[in-house]
Amino acid sequence: MHFATRAIHASQPSDPSTGALVAPLFQTSTFEQEAPGLTKGFDYSRTNNPTRQRLEAVLADLEEGRDAAVFASGLAAEHAVLQAFLRPGDAIILPADVYGGTWRLVSRVFAPLGIDARFVDTTDLAAVGAALTARTRLVWIETPTNPRLHVSDIAAITALAHGHGALVVVDNTFATPVFQRPLALGADLVVHSVTKYLAGHSDLIQGAVLARDPAVFEPVRFLQNAAGAVPSPFDCWLTLRGLKTLELRVQRHADTARRLADALSAHPRVARVYYPGLPSHPGHDVARRQMSGFGGMVSFEWQGSAEQVADFVSSRRLFTLGESLGGVKALIAQPARMTHASIPAERRAALGLTDALVRLSPGLEHPDDLVQDLVEGLDAPCAGRGRIAPLAV
């Protein structure tokens, strides 16, 4: 079946007791047992819940995996993977420009426990190969990266990592399973901030871990129950609703992102545009090979002061200044002061995460309106100084 069909039908039959097309929400903490230890498959919702079980089955199918575990946030999902496979003295390789929350988790939670965190340019296979040692347990790939959308070759890195006995984890949040299937490219584990595109409506926080090999997945499942960082049944139900329109939404996001990238590339005040769909993007060829679409995120650098950039992102009519991405409403951010503020300033500077960098998450608004909103701000003499009146709609 095609992806759009699976998103609606896979593991989602009508309710057998009522015929309801939409599965009921099992908003319960505990379940009646027929005798001590004799259950109908469920005993306590931290361990399992019918709504969560259904969501996990759907996610596993869409990522072409075998198993899935959902968590209360994307970082809770990442924490479970790191805790499951890393011990003091072990090493992990991550992208130099990994998401700020991942950097904070590894550098400030796991590194003090004796984990050797090696941040390298994962777009450079030679750099990845040089960083691999006998102590490397995990190679963490984020592709495209947040916020500069660097693209790493999943299959090639996986071959290198497996040659050294390391597992490969891919953060597939930006690409989504609509455009990229890391498990099919050889990765061992996939993580998602479900909060973003998968749920898609900016109304919940959730994460997920997926795998094909039960032996690799088992320690993650154990920690899901043992640590208990699970989402509520209602949040799982909301994600199931969002997944039914995932392909439609992500395609629209990607189409708009390309329109924005083209408009920004042509603007004289824009110094550089980051979008994998542009032939000028450094990872364009790899993206064409391992992705079926280029995603819905765009970042750019422009010729203005940090204060002008702050004014610009704070005064758009349609792009709302805020954290997160992947929702139906367009969002704009200045990563150095927002999503990546936890990274020390000197490290941000070394990575090129300057105050001039702007990250866009186009929503489902009409592309023409979003392009106009950006161009108006870039054309303004003071680049958006002060908040302007909302757009009449």
Active site residues: 46, 99, 171, 196
Please give the structure tokens belonging to residue 28. Answer: 């319960």
Q: Which of 155, 98, 150, 124 is nearest to 281 (CA)?
A: 150
Q: Which of 182, 147, 159, 160 is nearest to 291 (CA)?
A: 182
Give the integer Cα–Cα distance in Å for 274 and 148.
Answer: 6
Give the integer Cα–Cα distance in Å for 267 and 264.
Answer: 5
Helix axes 214-227, 74-85, angle to 10 degrees: 120
155, 185 contact by CB (below 8 A): yes
Please give the structure tokens belonging to residue 159. Answer: 């071959």
**Which H or E element spans position 149?**
none
- Read out DSSP for 112-146? GGT-EEEEE-TT-HHHHHHH--TTEEEEEEESS-T
Give residue 46's Cα distance to chain centre.
24
**Which H or E element spans position 301?**
strand 298-302
Give the SS3 label for residue 176.
Answer: helix
C-alpha distances (whole Å) from 284 to each of 153, 172, 289, 316 are 11, 17, 9, 29
Residues β-bridged to residue 320: 331
